[in-house]
Amino acid sequence: MSAFHSPFSAEASRLDAAASPERSGPPDFETFFDVSLDLMVIRDAEGRMVRVNRAWEPLLGYRREQLEGELMARFIHPDDLPASHATMARIAADLEIDGFVNRYRRQDGGYVRLEWRARRIGDYVYAVARDVTERLALQETMTQAREAAEAANRAKSEFLANMSHEIRTPLNGVIGVAAALERTGLTDQQRRMAELILTSGASLERVLSDILDISKIEAGRLEIELTPFDPARELGGLLEVHRLRAEEKGLRFEMELGEGAGASFIGDAVRLRQVLGNLVSNAIKFTEQGQVRARIDVLPVQAGRYDLLMEVSDTGIGFGAGFASDVFGRFRQADESITRRFGGTGLGLAICKALVELMGGTIGAQSTPGAGSSFTVRVPLQPASETLAMAGPGGAEELSFEGLRVLVAEDHPVNRLVVEMILQPLGALLTQVDDGAAALTALEAGSFDVILMDMQMPVLDGLSAVREIRRREALDGTRTPIIMLSANAMRQHQLDSLDAGANLHVSKPVTAVGLVDAIAQLLT
């Protein structure tokens, strides 16, 4: 190879020679080379550093005289040598590289990470490097933090899924047995008690669903389901439940249902019950003596438009004006003593505000410390196009499943009893087994019109059983409707059921109306 003659050095020498001591010229290239904060180097075809600038000295700790004439590979981290050699070889063909990172050894034995941009001109490579050690360390820290957050989120999802299954299983028994009990010969008082159990169970089931959907709440993806409902009936029944709690605490409970609340409107009755239930529950919790008052009415706003009015007031501890702006914030309590005395997370009112605003309404609060609080909710409603009969717990009896052959695969005896109480009065013929393998055996012995399959069972789980059923049916051209009945109620569980081959996924607790509607949907 010819002796090194840097065009950079030649130009610098020319300028130096042209400049006189008496006359100042433009900055020379040598000065520009040395004042750069980035590392600049010119290497030959053998990878030897023939010229470096001053920026190398403070970063690596070597004097320029110690670097110039040395092979660059001597300073590269051993683990980075293969990639570095490959990059050096590639520049011979590509003429330029940009963004390559490797580690260079400092004089003290440590390493820094350098990001390179280089270009080959003739027999030499002109390269500029920048210290990216801190930047890459920060990126790695952020990546680790993101991975830790994702792992924590997965752990949270698994925890919620497990809690969902453990809570929904006994809740299914409570609601299912109470619904069956209500259809038996009861006194008026006993029937009312059964209705209260059903109402409370339904509220508990929805709260559980909200906990499982906390990710949707955090992401602002709450879903509103608009259906016909009677505000007086839906919300009045909820207030009756809270009346009992208030009276047990020695509080007076006043309830007012306006005349306008007795008609049929379109709205999300379940979400409205959740909001009202939270407000009344708080009023009872924070009131030691005196009364709690709730008013429900529907007021005309203009032609064809109405507002549902929900007012809840109490004579409880109240809160000051300074806290009024934060009362609907997450994890907010007026002071720490409230949490110690009454418990709670401070999420309830924040969820109420999110729900009300999603329904297009408003929620406000007024309070005086020691004299009580008052909350007012207004939510727009549309009148139902026609008066629809609200489906009561006994509405399923109007249908008939006479002679319908149903295979039930469920390992929990209470859940089998619930299905039996719902379907046998309608004429269905039930065959019950307690695991997926037994379900496959039953299908070999006879045919069925509908299969109800639990997801988690011993011996063979529901998803595996459904996949095997669909595999066998693919061979003989049949297809039996399958409903997955599961305490696993998260979105992923629903998708897993459908992917396995189930037609529907019905989350526990199973209600008479919900199960009958699901079967009717498949049969039609």
pLDDT band with cut points at 50, 70 and 90 for residue 210: low
2 pLDDT higher than 60: no
Higher pLDDT, 331 or 361: 361
For residue 18, the model assigns a pLDDT of 38
Cα atoms found within 13 Å of the Cα of residue 73, Cβ hemisphere only: 14
> For 69-95, b where at least 16 C-beta lie within 10 A, e where not — what string?
eeebeebbeeebeeebeebbeebeeee
**405: phi then psi, degrees, rounded to nearest 5:** -90, 115
> If we measure between CA atoms, which residue out of 450, 444, 456 comes closest to residue 423?
450
The mean pLDDT of the chain is: 81
In sign, the C-alpha dihedral spanning 438, 443, 444, 446 is positive
Q: Say whether pLDDT at 13 is over 60.
A: no
Q: Tell me the per-residue pLDDT of 261-284, one tens digit each, with 9 for 90 and over.
A: 988 888 888 889 989 998 998 899
Q: Beta strand 429-433 with 405-409: parallel, antiparallel or unpaired?
A: parallel
Report the alpha-carbon angle 488-222-494, nearest 5.
Answer: 25
DSSP 8-state symbol, 290? S
Mean pLDDT of 138-155: 85
* More confidently predicted of 510 and 112: 112
- Of 72-86, 112-126, 149-163, 428-442, minimum mean pLDDT range: 149-163
CA trace torsion 152, 157, 159, 162 (10° rounding) = -160
* 436 close to 409: Cβ distance less than 8 angstroms: yes
**Residue 481 phi/psi, 5° resolution?**
-60, 135
Quick one: pLDDT at residue 410?
A: 92
For residues 430 and 424, give the distance between their C-alpha atoms in angstroms, rounded to a whole number.
7
Per-residue CA distances from 435 to 31, 412, 459 (Å):
83, 10, 6
**Do 314 and 287 meet the contact criterion of CB atoms below 8 Å apart?**
yes
Whether the per-residue pLDDT at 447 is higher than 60: the answer is yes
Dihedral over alpha carbons 423, 429, 434, 436 (to 10 degrees):
-110
Q: Kind of pairing, strands 291-302 and 265-267?
A: unpaired
Tokens of 196: 């209260």
Nearest to 14 by CA among 35, 33, 36, 29: 29
Cis peptide before 58 (omega within 30 of 0): no
Rounded average pLDDT over 186-192: 87
For residues 162 and 160, give the distance between their C-alpha atoms in angstroms, rounded to a whole number.
5
Across 317-329, average pLDDT? 70
Beta strands 265-267 and 227-229, pairing class: antiparallel
Q: Do residues 360 and 378 make contact, with C-beta atoms less than 8 angstroms apart? A: no
Contact status, residue 52 vs residue 68, Cβ threshold 8 Å: yes
Greater confidence (174 vs 347) lies with 174
Residues 6+ apart with CB under 8 A from 119: 91, 95, 96, 125, 126, 127
Which range scores top for mean pLDDT: 218-222, 370-374, 404-408, 519-523? Answer: 404-408
Whether the per-residue pLDDT at 216 is higher than 70: the answer is: no
More confident residue, 183 or 390: 183
Average of per-residue pLDDT across 176-191? 85
Distance, in Å, from the CA atom of 162 to the CA atom of 284, rounded to the nearest integer, reads 31
Mean pLDDT, rounded, for 58-84: 93
Residue 394 clears pLDDT 70, i.e. is over it: no
CB 261, CB 231: distance < 8 Å:
yes
pLDDT at 96: 87
CA nearest to 356, candidates 292, 316, 317, 312: 312
- Structural domains present in the chain: 7-131 (3.30.450.20), 222-383 (3.30.565.10), 395-523 (3.40.50.2300)
Q: How many helices (H) and strands (E) does the chain have?
A: 18, 17
Question: Would you say residue 28 has pLDDT above 80?
Answer: no
